[in-house]
Structure 1
Amino acid sequence: MYNQDPQHGITLEKMLTDLVDHFGWEELARRIPIKCFSNDPSIKSSLTFLRRTPWARAQVEQLDARMRR
């Protein structure tokens, strides 16, 4: 059976990398105003924050889903 969820099997790291590639850090920080995106951003530090912060991770997942449509 085919899974219709466009995010199925996509890791948080892949989502974040794709968002940064698409929007850049500055626009990502504007769309999701969290410090790890605006203050010396990196994939590693952002992943650490997002894995500990469910509300921020949910926002990243929502933006990723909108981008993949």
Structure 2
Amino acid sequence: MASFVIVTDDGSYPEGHVTSISALSVTSVRLESYSHEGDYVVLHFEGGVDKAIPESRVRHIITRKQVAS
């Protein structure tokens, strides 16, 4: 179950989302985390691949807090 979802003008990026990034010849990477850097929300994928999205395109960031058992 995802602990976060980034919702943008173009769609959504839940934690664990798998995508390809043809510009880097990357066929399959999984979204692991995100951060805020200046006017961007940066999606951090496995293998050191990052995708920066301008904050103006981000509609919501939805998070789920981890509850200790």
The TM-score normalised by the length of structure 2 is: 0.25
Q: Pick the structure with more strand per residue.
A: 2
Structure whose alpha-carbon radius of gyration is higher: 2
Higher helix share: 1
